[in-house]
Chains A and B, each alone.
Chain A
Amino acid sequence: MIAILKKKLLKTLYVPLSGLLCCCFHACSLDYPLEDKISDPGAIDRLSVARELLNTAYLRSFKDLSTLAMLGDDFGPTRYSAQFMSSQFWLWKPEEISVSANNLWPDAYQAISTANTFLQRADEIEVKGEQEESELRKLRGEALAIKAWNYYILLRLYAPNIKEAPKADAIVLRNTDRPTQEGRSSVEQVYSHLDSLTTEAATLLAEGGTDGSNVHGAFFNSSAMWALQTELAVDREEWQDALTYGEQLLSRYTQLDADTYTALWKTNGYQSNESVMALGTHSEIWTTIEYQSPLYGRSSALNIASDIINSYSEEDLRRQTLLPDTNGGYTIGKYRTKFFETEFYPIHLFRTARILLLCAEAAYRLGDQDKARSYLNRLQEARQSPLSQGSGKTLWIAIQAEFRKELVGEWYRFFDLKRWRSELKHPINTSGTEVLDIQASDYRWVWPIPNAEIVQSEGKIQQNPNWIHYEE
């Protein structure tokens, strides 16, 4: 009887039980890792993944050329300057500078944060063998170099010169990617941090025997760190150190001729022997000053200042980077050879010509005018430009003029003018009646800290002098 009942029970329960078991079977695990993404713990556990992380840090590093070039005196007006909206930035309008400042700060810090993310996880990376360990050290060096580069740009924009105000508030230094609330460090603290970063990076990047050759490329290398150290020394007016670093570099980067110059402005420009390091970019360069004229088609709203053009001699190699504009002037031909460009061009961060000029300046400041003249002439000869012969003030004016001629349209001018404490004066309409005149003491040489940073620091950070908050 019981047996029959049991049988009946089992029979009746067979269907639903198997149904339940079916569910249980399916429902065993909830471990479904993300298929499109990698998650911690252990996300960055091998060199190839670390390399990818650093690639992103490069992508985010500062490279927005056209922003900074417009703030100098490289550009002069055209008949369209008044009409196009971005001329507000060229005219140093505080609201426009505010907009650029608000965009550049977070972008640079994204690069720094990515480098920090890598550095924090670098210990977890599995390496087998000497070569991989060496590779890892190089990656660490690159991360430090990326941080140094971005800090450098931030420092030169958002803080005053070290010689004028060493204790002034500069930028926020971060050593981890954790969201802690931090305040600003002083200018001299940042410079000393940059010193340690660049030194350590240069050592790490010299791994694998890359030291001793003229490396160039799109990734930070030890030479790039020396070039950065040259810039830092010049900022601090430590001329002897600047000369030491500069000469160390120049002993490696010896080639300077027509071929290397032309090669600089191609899509694989970082392979030119004149380039120490260049950043690759996918952004469209110079579109901010492009203007669609109803009569003339594509044209630039800003042209290269006519006095620069007039200062080039007939055979000067640099004339090849002048792109004739439809309105009769010339616009920047570096980084593009036609108005509508789909190719990508790298942006040179450090190159031989600049090192030469910095050495010339350092030598001049140390009082060695012959040495200064020899550096200057070396560059002029390579560019097929007449050699300067003067000395004293004339030589200094020639050096400064050469800075402008050589580096027109690149990102250095604003920084050079700032550290020379120069006045900025250039015409802003075609007849020359209106002139933009920025004194050395103008508050706009130091960019405003983004409002978000100030508000979220809850009192730890103050705004730079004279800047007010503009609505976005």
Chain B
Amino acid sequence: MKKISLWLSPILWGILVFIACYPNAVAYAQQSEKLLVKGQVRDNISKSPLPSVTIKVRGIALQSTNEQGYFSVRVSSTDTLVFTSTGYTSFRYPLHGETSVNIVLESNESALDEVVINANVNDVDIRYPTAAISVVKGADISYQPIADPLSALQGKVAGLRVIRSGELGAAPEVRIRGVSSLTRGNKANQPLYVLDGQIIDMDAFLTLNPQDIEEMKVLKDATANAMYGVKAANGVIEISTKRAKTGERTFFYNFQGGVTLRGSKGLELMDSEEKLAYEALTQNPAFPGYRFSEEGVRKEYGNASDIDQLIAVGQATLDSLKGIHTDWFQELMRRDYYQSHQVGMASGTDKTSFYVALNYTKQGGKIEGNNLQRYTGRFNMQHRPTDNFTLDLSVGGAYSETTTHSEGDVNPASLIYQLNPYETKSNALGQPTPLITSYRGERTYADLIGQADGSNRNTRGSATVTLRYEPWSAVHIDVSQGIDYVVNDGYMRIPPEAISQQDKGEGKGQLTTNKLSTVNYSSNARILWQKSYYKHDFTLTGNLDYLRTRHHNIGYTGFGLSSKITSAAGINQGLTGNLAPTLASGQETQAQLGFGGAFGYTWNKFLDAFFNYKRDGASILPSDKRWNTAWAAGVGVELSEISELQAIFHHPFRIRASMGNTAGLGAISPGYAVAIFTPTGQEAYLNGRGLALESMYNPDLVPEQSRSYNIGLDVSVWNGRVNLTADVYRRTNSQVLMEVPIQPSIGFQMMMRNVGVIRNQGIELAVSADVMRQGEFRWNFSANGAYNTNKVLDLYGKDKLWTNNNASTPPDYQVGKATDILWGVQSLGIHPIDGIPRYLGAGGIQYDGRRPIENEDFVAFGHTTPPFTGGMTQSFSYKNINLSFDFYYTLGAKKSISPLLARDAEDIRYAQVKGMLDQTWQQLGDEGKAFVNPRIVSSNTFLGSFIRDITTSRTVQQANYLRLSNVRLSCQFPETWLAHSKVVKTALARIQAQDLFVLSSYQGPDPESGTLAGSLQPVISFSLNLGF
């Protein structure tokens, strides 16, 4: 006995230690029935992985599958897993101890009657079979560290071009399928934006959080846009915010934080030595490069006795200046931070679901004082008390604030290209040094900064209620009402100490404030009737929509500010004359009403037809032009549903065609068609009010008409692993509106006229492919590309049209040519004898820049808008780790960099482009030079302006670029790691870099925005998405 006990005690101790030291083991032992079960869920036909499939056990939702369809849950070995997803029949899988399962779900056709996720009443199913619609999931844009969702769309959709300006808080330009209006600017060319069924303004995007977005649909052709009528002449972007799915219950916290970098310098500038030598060429003593040179000293002092000593002093000064190498790009651009916090909850049952999210984002800008801050909140709720009645409530609120210190000519962005490399911010002792040449009057650097202080605040609240009711199975009634309230506060203060204010006497300093409040009320009611007889399915729908917008704007400008008080209390209201405070105000209410009807027909499940008619009225139009029509018709054939062809086409293969006609009102404003008189505001004649005709009106004005055709193909091959969409389209705009010049003796310089016919046509391709699946390794990519050209077809009796009055330059629009041609002259360089540039004119004649160029001398260099655009995403996954790249590119555009390079004599005092000195003609016999001597330019003003304004073969460049817009490495934490924490259910960590670099042969600054300070700022960030 004793022997056994001696043996037993260490064993017993061992067991005890084991039990004590390995509590997991104990826990594990207690849960010995629990298993980790992993697997993937797929669609049974296309075999593509299904994300967002809910896995429930005993009624409790445990998890949803991730983007690649994978799940991993900890369950009992004998539990039954229930897989549910919208559009699929639920699947029950009883476990028998296996740890790896592969599930396929069958799609459920009658799922169309199930819970409709979005609140958009116009999102009817009959439009899809014949329409060109591209869908971008929220997950495809929410990872980017960009504040506004529109900018994040660039490169994701074929035919959609988002041109970012690089300035924080500025709205991008969005164009779908090229530009069809001759009136430039957003109002006439931008698509219609719809948020949860409510029409919103472009500026709403700054207050919309990309992480709240479920999906964005880009509607491109006539049948897609038909429901919206006349407002959708340029396309539509529909945005739906998130709603919780049935069975989902998660709390989430998403964090993203990173660094915003400076971006790349646009142009390389001269270093001190080169700049000083260049200044010497001007022989102008105002510039130190000449003043301290030997020649300059001799000219100034001539016969002074100590001339040699003065020359030596001058040389020493020059040498010390050459030793200064200030890089103003580094000094004035800065790095800053990006951070975003999102917290929220999504919870859904069969009857009710909530999605609540709060977000704070802060993005720092490149320039000191320029940054963006935003708070948003969203509450979306869906309630289904009965199967045939759904109530959807969507409430959002936001506050965003953008600050800037750039106003007028003296701002950090332009200073980079103005300040000389030998000028400094301060000397070695930290005292401010005067700037020698770039700013006259002994200014120091400190005087140039902080010249203005501005901010722009948006406060927004919106609510939309949508009711969907199905009184009996064939009829649906949907009603949506929404209200949107925005207040925009603008503020700009130029302090009294600023340079620009120094000669204003009593009125130093300027403060401008503006408050614009907009209330939008929109309502949309739709009734839909569906019936099936044998193989025929009919759908008939009618709707009534109404939108009323009310703007109210009030602002003031005052002068004579206090240097200590920054609010309006600091304004000197006692000033008179042109420094007296002034008031700006505006008030406007306008309404739009539309009636529409649509008819859809399907035969034997494979042939679809669609027809839509909409009549829209707008209150801003004069009563005889108030009502306009839009109609569309489409046809589609699904070859895989035709029983005879199913041997060949066993995967989805749809051919569709559509055509439509709509009026376009974007460029019209009331003052163009009838006489509108406005008060002249500040301008009073003595004390008498003034009233003036707003613009020369044209009673013959008619709205634009747009006729479009589209043929498309939606194909799925190789077992659903590759999906391809192709579209060919043509859009003809007639009665195109444009402001054309008229005789000034009429009293106005421009008048709006219907000038002609423009045609846009192109091809779009989008492909997404699940290329490789080897074990745990996946490679998929998606790419899209578009080709677009335009042409002027007719100018109503004229052959050419100029928008300026300079008939000696090429016409802006010419029948048979594109609308965006870049004209210029062929440069032959600088003539070695006289230093004047030579150009190649018509007929091979050489001429110099001193005589005005004629029309025939101009050569077309190419297009300013790129014909080829597109983007691509490459995604590589191995188990839970994913590496993805986003690119976008444009090809075929040309841009001119002449305004950036050419300077006239006055501008020599600013920094110049590197390498100009060697390329400048200096004396008789210099061959092969490209730039005129600044001395010659200053003595001949005509030549100077010619060089500054003209585009030549030397200044035109290819503006092709390929931008790596995002590269990201993410890791979805596996279940095992999270098991320790009872709190965290899912976790995703990601490192990414946004707008890291651009591949381009363009030698100017950013080829995308074309402006000097416009290069997009790179952002490197880390994010952590946690689900509880």
Contacts and interface: CB of A to CB of B under 8 A. Distances in A.
Interface string A107-132: 00110111011000000000000000
Interface in A60-97: 95
Nearest to A184: B745
B696 interface: yes
Given A51-B688, A282-B578, A471 B945 contact: yes
B685 A471 contact: no
A27 B831 CA distance: 72
A30 B591 contact: yes
A455 interface: yes
Interface centre among A13, A26, A27, A112 (most CB of B within 10 A): A27
B876 to A, nearest CB: 50
Interface stretch (B229-237, B245-253, B746-754, B859-867): B746-754
B806 A471 contact: yes
Nearest to A27: B546
B691 A27 contact: no
B104 interface: no
Nearest to B807: A455
B471 interface: yes
B942 A59 contact: no
Contacts of B490: none
A38 interface: yes
Nearest to B544: A23
Nearest to A461: B743
Interface string B150-186: 0000000000000000000000000000000000000
B779 interface: no
B686 interface: yes
In this complex, the member of B503, B523, B588, B744 whose beta carbon has the largest number of chain A beta carbons within 10 angstroms is B744
A457 B743 contact: yes
A436 interface: no
Interface string A274-302: 00000010101000000010100010000
A215 to B, nearest CB: 16
B441 A172 contact: no
A3 interface: no
B940 to A, nearest CB: 11
Contacts of B802: 455
B39 interface: no
A105 B575 contact: no
B589 A38 contact: no
A114 B693 contact: yes
A32 B696 CA distance: 22
Contact of A30 (B593, B688, B808): B593
A453 B743 contact: yes
Interface string A10-29: 00110110011011101101
B833 to A, nearest CB: 26
A109 B747 contact: yes
Contact of B685 (A55, A105, A342): A55
A34 B670 contact: yes
A117 B693 contact: yes
B689 interface: yes
B759 to A, nearest CB: 27
A227 B494 CA distance: 47
B588 A35 contact: yes
A452 interface: yes
Nearest to B507: A342
Contact of B692 (A56, A218, A471): A56
B696 to A, nearest CB: 6
The majority secondary structure among interface residues of chain B is mixed
A16 B592 CA distance: 22
A434 interface: no
A113 B691 contact: no
B688 A471 contact: no
Interface stretch (B579-587, B635-643, B931-939): B579-587
B946 interface: yes
A36 B693 contact: no
A174 interface: yes
B679 interface: yes
A342 B686 CA distance: 14
Interface string B666-702: 0000110011111110011110111111101010000
Contact of A174 (B523, B619, B742, B745): B745
B554 to A, nearest CB: 12
A37 interface: yes
A340 B589 contact: no
A40 B675 CA distance: 5
A284 B525 contact: no
B743 A181 contact: yes
A280 B685 contact: yes
B687 to A, nearest CB: 9
Given A114-B747, A342-B579, A282 B683 contact: yes
Given A218-B685, A344-B577, A16 B467 contact: yes
A443 B553 CA distance: 52
Contact of A452 (B579, B686, B743): B743
Given A22-B523, A32-B590, A36-B588, A456 B805 contact: yes
B677 A44 contact: yes
Contacts of A114: 692-693, 747
B852 A23 contact: no
Given A27-B593, A106-B747, 20 more contacts: A12-B471, A15-B467, A16-B477, A16-B479, A19-B467, A26-B523, A30-B592, A32-B590, A37-B678, A37-B679, A52-B688, A109-B747, A112-B745, A113-B748, A180-B746, A340-B504, A455-B805, A469-B808, A470-B942, A471-B945
28 contacts: A9-B471, A16-B479, A19-B479, A27-B523, A27-B593, A30-B592, A38-B676, A38-B678, A39-B676, A40-B676, A55-B691, A56-B680, A56-B685, A58-B685, A105-B745, A109-B746, A113-B746, A113-B747, A114-B693, A174-B745, A174-B746, A179-B751, A180-B746, A342-B505, A452-B743, A452-B805, A455-B806, A469-B808
